[in-house]
Structure 1
Amino acid sequence: MNPQAATFRFYGALNDFLHKRQKGHAINYSFKGSPAIKDAIEAIGVPHPEVDVVLVNQSKVLFSYTLQAGDVVEIFPVQAEREWPTGYVSEEQNPPPHRFVLDVHLGTLAKSLRMLGFDTFYKTDLSDSEIARIAAEEKRVVLTRDVGLLKQKSIRWGYWLRSQHTEEQLEEVVQRYKLQHSFNPLVLCLVCNVRVEEVPKQEVLEELPPKTRLYFNEFYRCPSCCRVYWKGSHYERMQLFVAKVQRM
């Protein structure tokens, strides 16, 4: 079977996934058979959850569209500043939830998201297939530094973190998913991702450091790991952290 060809052009942040010689340029893509356009996009290097709009010959298509010889394909990322006609943007019908599952290398980011009140599934021993399954079954957004993970078919929502630094990663997530007005800080256990419950001081008295017993009266406990929280100096640091993130 002789190869056929189509022309692809990626815009904006999608160029982050391309080879240097491909960035900002039209790409001549050769193929055999009748591939879905989603498969062609990922073969070039761009994971499907990063794509917001696909135009073929200037018309909107779905990922299931069968690529044809001579097609001119334009692929766009999420762009807050760009307005598309109703029905063009993939997230209009299926907006991403504010619930996340993170890969094994993002423990500090998981803690930061929990601090802001976002349901964040994280374990140190999850495989890629387990992350994909959890994302699909529990309707979670996958956050990862692994491009290959985002190419798994069952993942609907996902984002590849550009930075390797936690604070910058958090800013990326807050801006990408427009979380600025959805913060509910300091209500989740930072270890278990479970909502903490207020408890009488008497119930936790024996677990408290001497000075904490003396100076504090409001306490919270995680019903899962039984970790006890109170509004000490660490609480003040958390409040400063939350205020900083809100200004991002």
Structure 2
Amino acid sequence: MARAVFRFYEELNDFLPPERRKVAFDYPLDRRAAVKDVIEALGVPHPEVELILVNGESVGFDYIVRDGDRVAVYPVFESFDISEHLRVREFPLRELRFVLDAHLGRLARYLRLCGFDTLYRNDFRDAELASISAHKGRVLLTRDIRLLKRRIITHGYFVRSDRPEAQLTEVLHRFQLQDRAAPFRRCARCNALLRDADKAEVAPRLEPLTRRYYDTFKVCSGCGQVYWYGSHARRIERLIERSRQGGDPAPDAPCRSGG
């Protein structure tokens, strides 16, 4: 039987059984198959892959794996510009925007508080999420590996952690967003942009202690929610700073394949 040798690097090993992590292993070729199909059959969602080298040459997802091929599969490179070698996607996203699945409601809130355009509803079906990601140019963040393997999705990421604050650090680190965060630019509730508001405008809506101790406010241009710089704001800023300083985004929960 024809065989190829595969080797996965860095965090792509999260999706493999222990005996296949960080080592080269044989894979039997019992049928004609594109490298994308083999990669996903081995458990790795294709949006997590940034570079595929076959016998040292960069290839796209449609490459047909052949007997004797040596296939090296890489995630995103953070320290090197490899743009001239990329073959797996036709285009980058000009503006980084997100859509999140139902498991990531708290993360959606945190991303919005960091200023990132984040679409979230807890009643989105998988087909809707995939369509929004593919046709609206949004990166899909999910805890569902099967969803991430849908063919039409080109830009996505499996969130490893199951703790919201760690998830935020992980996503900021993965997409190198630490210096692009703009805290309290968007509404955590509806994703609309915030505007500055005079204290007199919002005073009737404030609790007595808030009215007494705070003077700077923002109001959502969509739903009208009022924001002020309190302990939650400082918490978000600390999380951003932790990620900027290289805080550990390592996963603390196993991969989950269910919806």
- Which band: TM-score by shorter chain? 0.7 to 0.9
- The SS at the match of 1:105 is helix
Residue 69 of structure 2 corresponds to which residue in structure 1?
71
Q: Is the contact made by 1:101 and 1:131 (CA closer than 8 Å) also made in structure 2?
A: yes
- What CA distance in whole angstroms lies between the structure 1 residues aligned with 2:244 and 2:214? 28
- Of the candidates 11, 14, 19, which is equivalent to residue 13 of structure 1? 11
Q: CA deviation at 1:233?
A: 5.0
- The SS at the match of 1:101 is strand
Residue 162 of structure 2 corresponds to which residue in structure 1?
164
Residue 37 of structure 1 corresponds to which residue in structure 2?
35
Distance 1:27 1:191, change over 3 A: same
- Of the candidates 151, 173, 176, which is equivalent to residue 175 of structure 1? 173
| Identity %, equivalent residues | 42
- What CA distance in whole angstroms lies between the structure 2 residues aligned with 1:36 and 1:112? 38
- The two structures have a TM-score, normalised by structure 1, of 0.87
The structure with the larger Rg is: 1
Q: Is the contact made by 1:54 and 1:75 (CA closer than 8 Å) also made in structure 2?
A: yes
Residue 144 of structure 1 corresponds to which residue in structure 2?
142
- Of the candidates 133, 136, 157, which is equivalent to residue 135 of structure 1? 133
Distance 1:179 1:91, change over 3 A: farther
- The SS at the match of 1:73 is strand
Matched, 1:48 2:38: no
Distance 1:210 1:138, change over 3 A: same
Q: Is the contact made by 2:8 and 2:73 (CA closer than 8 Å) also made in structure 1?
A: yes
Aligned length: 246
Matched, 1:189 2:169: no
Q: Is the contact made by 2:4 and 2:68 (CA closer than 8 Å) also made in structure 1?
A: yes
- What CA distance in whole angstroms lies between the structure 2 residues aligned with 1:134 and 1:85? 26
Q: Is the contact made by 1:13 and 1:77 (CA closer than 8 Å) also made in structure 2?
A: yes
Distance 1:26 1:211, change over 3 A: closer
- What CA distance in whole angstroms lies between the structure 2 residues aligned with 1:214 and 1:19? 57
Q: Is the contact made by 1:8 and 1:27 (CA closer than 8 Å) also made in structure 2?
A: yes
Q: CA deviation at 1:173?
A: 1.1
Give the number of the structure with larger relative contact order, counting CA–CA contacts within 8 Å between residues 6 or more apart: 2
Q: Is the contact made by 2:178 and 2:240 (CA closer than 8 Å) also made in structure 1?
A: no
- 1:194 is aligned with what amino acid? A
Q: Is the contact made by 1:185 and 1:242 (CA closer than 8 Å) also made in structure 2?
A: no
Pick which of 172-181 and 91-100 moved more: 91-100
Q: Is the contact made by 1:7 and 1:29 (CA closer than 8 Å) also made in structure 2?
A: yes
Q: Is the contact made by 1:96 and 1:141 (CA closer than 8 Å) also made in structure 2?
A: no
Q: CA deviation at 1:64?
A: 1.0
- What CA distance in whole angstroms lies between the structure 2 residues aligned with 1:56 and 1:182? 35
Residue 101 of structure 2 corresponds to which residue in structure 1?
103
- 1:36 is aligned with what amino acid? A
Q: Is the contact made by 2:52 and 2:88 (CA closer than 8 Å) also made in structure 1?
A: no
1:195-210 mapped onto 2 (5 Å cutoff): 195-210=193-208
Distance 1:161 1:132, change over 3 A: same
Q: Is the contact made by 2:112 and 2:187 (CA closer than 8 Å) also made in structure 1?
A: yes
- The two structures have a TM-score, normalised by structure 2, of 0.84
- What CA distance in whole angstroms lies between the structure 2 residues aligned with 1:191 and 1:149? 25
Pick which of 18-27 and 176-185 moved more: 18-27
Root-mean-square deviation over aligned CA pairs: 2.5
- What CA distance in whole angstroms lies between the structure 1 residues aligned with 2:71 and 2:158? 22
- The SS at the match of 1:226 is coil
- What CA distance in whole angstroms lies between the structure 1 residues aligned with 2:8 and 2:236? 40
